[in-house]
């Protein structure tokens, strides 16, 4: 750090851009960006940004995508999930495109914690006020990967940010047994795949949620 700070050519740093695009960032986002820079050998990222575009006409249908009996959770968490307001972050479906260089990957762990239950993580995410990605962004990323593979947005995230797992807390699903679940994308053995995780599980730092600052 001392070498970096004492050898930066500050005369060639755009002060206005630094003030408008960096100084106001949350500490967690600054940390994520700097971590990605270090993981890339202190070189510029492979592509300054990567944008995924959603399809407003394509709605995530749990029964079609996962299987019969899957639905979007409705009503309170302690209900049966069959009636009431759909449990979604309504800001996610409004996103027409997402600049993944600005995506937040949050574990929600507090100092001294090594794990957290899914329902508590969901509560903390909502308290943060950040936008949680839902089915529309999940579908956009998955379809982009199917079409572009090594040139996909998911591979860009892996190369630049070492992201190999992300969960989508902006959409709570109900499985056929009445359990509350969320969608996940993960990388294993060089390939990306999708799954879902029960909110009753224990979540660790390696299973971050993905979203945007509000």
Who's near 16: CB < 8 A, 6+ residues apart? none
**pLDDT at residue 124 in the model:** 97
**pLDDT at residue 61 in the model:** 97
How many whole angstroms separate alpha carbon 52 and alpha carbon 101? 11
Residue with tokens 């971050």: 208
**pLDDT at residue 16 in the model:** 72
* Tokens standing for residue 214: 């509000």
Q: Cα dist. 59→56, 134, 140 in Å?
A: 7, 10, 11
Who's near 158: CB < 8 A, 6+ residues apart? 164, 187
3-state secondary structure of 193: strand
**pLDDT at residue 23 in the model:** 76
* Tokens standing for residue 170: 């902006």
Q: Give the helix/strand (H/E) hosting 119.
A: helix 118-128
**pLDDT at residue 80 in the model:** 97
**pLDDT at residue 40 in the model:** 52
CB 157 within 8 A of CB 50: yes
**pLDDT at residue 43 in the model:** 45
3-state secondary structure of 98: strand
* Tokens standing for residue 155: 């591979």
Q: Which residues are 212's β-sheet partners?
A: 131
Mean pLDDT by 10 residues, the chain (214 residues): 70 70 70 63 58 93 98 97 98 95 95 95 97 98 96 94 96 98 97 97 94 94
């Amino acid at each position: 750090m001392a070498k970096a700070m004492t050898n930066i050519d500050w005369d060639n740093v755009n002060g206005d851009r630094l003030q408008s695009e960096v100084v106001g960032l949350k500490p967690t986002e600054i940390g994520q960006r700097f971590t990605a820079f270090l993981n890339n050998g202190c070189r510029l990222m492979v592509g300054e940004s990567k944008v995924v575009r959603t399809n407003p006409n394509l709605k995530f249908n749990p029964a079609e995508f996962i299987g019969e009996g899957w639905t979007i959770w409705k009503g309170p968490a302690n209900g049966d999930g069959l009636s009431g307001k759909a449990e979604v972050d309504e800001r996610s479906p409004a996103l027409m495109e997402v600049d993944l260089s600005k995506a937040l990957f949050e574990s929600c762990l507090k100092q001294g914690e090594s794990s957290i239950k899914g329902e508590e993580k969901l509560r903390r995410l909502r308290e943060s006020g950040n936008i949680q990605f839902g089915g529309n962004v999940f579908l956009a990323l998955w379809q982009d990967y199917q079409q572009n593979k090594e040139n996909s947005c998911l591979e860009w995230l892996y190369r630049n940010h070492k992201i190999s797992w992300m969960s989508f807390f902006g959409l709570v699903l109900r499985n056929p047994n009445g359990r509350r679940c969320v969608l996940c994308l993960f990388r294993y053995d060089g390939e990306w795949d999708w799954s879902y995780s029960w909110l009753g599980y224990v979540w660790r730092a390696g299973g971050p949620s993905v979203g945007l600052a509000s």
